Chain A
């Protein structure tokens, strides 16, 4: 079990907690390979999915995980920028509190929004991605994927490529992979490397050739073409040429390296088709693992003492 109320990020989880989540996720994967892919662990519990920022993939993955654990779920999406986002969040929190639910899964464009909810609510808060801060379940599913393919993570060489400064996936991966003993480096245009990131225990590269040399794991981040404000690189064409992963560049990595991407992919920009669909790619496996990891997190935070068993045949319609 996890000795905490909320899952807000991987930065404050211990190595042991991370391993517990991954082990639980692995067990769920086994359960889900049985004919009835549903367990009663969260029966009678209510989970609210609050998505203030569009993300079909993550929302569906959470909903799937909740349903497979037999939870009652409500999903709420509010996109588009309202002038008083903060007030909306506070009001929403108060309303939810009044409805006596068990857990909230929140996705928000502002870093720290889940922390704000967690401070104000008794229910479990699970961060499904906050601003440029963290996306802990993505980090966990990345860890699970690599562990499945490579076994032990200690000593593995991993590189994360792209807009590190604005990526919550990069931050969660950095915390998670370094905690489990992997050797993590990051690579991107120098405008996309955040201040003092070396202090997190990662090496920084701005030349992709150096960054890929002998690595076991390549994690390619999505380039946000729609990002507002000052452009962080001169053109997509130049980015693709310098940092886009193709078969040629990938030759510098280990021959059995795996390539990950949190999706959705800009094909031909940060990664080309040949690599995205090629033998090294584990991108679809990440999606499957996303459901298992989210089940594990929900189970460990919300289910607590509930049984882990699959439903009996006759129960499947609940």
Chain B
């Protein structure tokens, strides 16, 4: 398909737009890069391209606020271009590139480089997040105002915590002027040093050094207190434990400006899977226990956890094909997120499709202050059309990401994007020969 930029009519799909409370079968008309009209049946001009979305879901494009694109520095693992293309295939129309590259994104030039490379990729939009501290060293805060001005959507030292509470205090204080969140990687490293997986019965059986859940919770608690104290907006990245969820829940009740994300792998998997010493299950924070997993799901359901982010962390096969302790932390996630979430959240009965769509589009857009995440007329036409029933098996050979380190390899999932529009342009459409829809029943 080679749709022009002018008019596209997406016809007869189930339109889910949490921002406007719409959940109905109808048409979406896109014109000039924006959403023109949403309605039961839309009359269209003869020149409009028509896409038959019968049996499919039409939703705002997904936004991933946590992806490691590895450029500059590790282009063998991923580039901004390969990451943006993988994102698009996964249904994401916008992704946020994390700043722990080499060199890190801590200067205006680096912020602009990411933006330019993102634009050049011609795939999902790429927004840079910039470092909280210069050189990600955890010492003095970066030139946040300049970085913001250059286009950084938020600040994080992700990959590492800001260990010094004084530095974190200054970061939250300073960022409060800039109306954007400080994103915290919550890890008390004196408790996690040398750890390879969640501390518990499985780490004990495997003889691997554990990463205790309290190492995350201590910093979640610290940063909530600092957020309350400074008035700065705090966003907790990849939360993984039950107590973290409880801490956020209480903080929100008390009116603290805190938001939080969980990843598909923490929502779907537990540390039991590590018994094979398979390094594709090695990530930080580590896969936790079933109790923690259920607490994350409850947190998503009651709004404690605002959004879902992939923490896409590509690594080469050579890096991962070693003994467990030697392997780097991290798993890819852009191309599997939707299938994992439909399979483990929606089909499992934990979240409605509408709730899932909100966690993937509207919520992250709001947190980052982006204009995406809605199908309201006048909004930019970032749209994901997906088949919630399409069954597929995760085969890393099909990945557009440069890396293959997925914990979902070989797993059968339900749900895949079939058409993705960015600014009204259809940049991704799945080939029907390869992925035949299971049926055309409405979702």
Contacts and interface: CB of A to CB of B under 8 A. Distances in A.
Interface of A: 11, 84-87, 89-90, 108, 110-113, 115-116, 130-134, 165, 168, 171, 194-197, 199-200, 229
Contacts of A165: 204
A195 B205 contact: no
B201 interface: yes
Contact of A110 (B199, B204, B321, B325): B325
A168 B323 contact: no
Nearest to B319: A86
B221 interface: no
Q: Which 3 A-B pairs rank lowest in CB-CB distance, beginning with the nearest? A: A86-B322, A133-B207, A86-B326
A200 B325 contact: no
A133 B205 CA distance: 7
Contacts of A84: 326
A115 B193 CA distance: 24
B203 interface: yes
Contacts of B325: 86, 110-112, 131
A194 B212 CA distance: 12
Contacts of A229: 193-194
A84 B204 CA distance: 25
A86 B323 contact: yes
Given A87-B322, A111-B325, A112-B325, 19 more contacts: A11-B205, A87-B326, A89-B322, A111-B208, A111-B277, A112-B206, A112-B208, A112-B324, A113-B323, A115-B276, A116-B323, A131-B208, A133-B208, A195-B199, A195-B210, A195-B212, A199-B201, A200-B201, A200-B205
Nearest to A171: B207
Given A111-B207, A112-B206, A195 B201 contact: yes
B200 interface: yes
Given A111-B325, A113-B323, A168 B207 contact: yes
Most buried by B among A108, A111, A134, A197: A111
10 contacts: A84-B326, A86-B322, A86-B323, A111-B206, A111-B208, A115-B277, A134-B207, A196-B204, A199-B204, A229-B193
B217 to A, nearest CB: 15
A111 B204 contact: no
Interface of B: 193-194, 199-201, 203-210, 212, 276-277, 321-327
A116 to B, nearest CB: 5
A132 B322 contact: no
B200 A196 contact: yes
A111 B212 CA distance: 18
Contacts of B201: 195-197, 199-200
B195 to A, nearest CB: 11
Contacts of B199: 195
Contacts of A199: 201, 204
A314 B95 CA distance: 76
B204 A194 contact: yes
Contacts of A108: 323
B277 A112 contact: yes
A92 to B, nearest CB: 11
B207 A130 contact: yes
Contacts of B205: 11, 171, 200
B279 to A, nearest CB: 9
A204 to B, nearest CB: 12
A86 B327 contact: yes
A195 B203 contact: yes
B204 to A, nearest CB: 4
A111 B322 contact: no
Contacts of A90: 321-322
Nearest to A118: B277
Contacts of B207: 111-112, 130-134, 168, 171
A89 B207 CA distance: 19
A89 B323 contact: yes
B405 to A, nearest CB: 15
A116 B277 contact: yes
B326 A197 contact: no
Contacts of A132: 207-209
A111 B324 contact: yes
B242 to A, nearest CB: 15
A113 B207 CA distance: 11
A170 B212 CA distance: 22
A231 B91 CA distance: 50
A241 B212 CA distance: 30
Nearest to A193: B204
Contacts of B323: 85-86, 89, 108, 110, 112-113, 116
Contacts of B200: 195-196
Contacts of A200: 201, 204-205
A133 B208 CA distance: 7
B347 to A, nearest CB: 30
A306 B342 CA distance: 55
Nearest to A229: B194
B73 to A, nearest CB: 19
Nearest to A164: B204
A195 B324 CA distance: 19
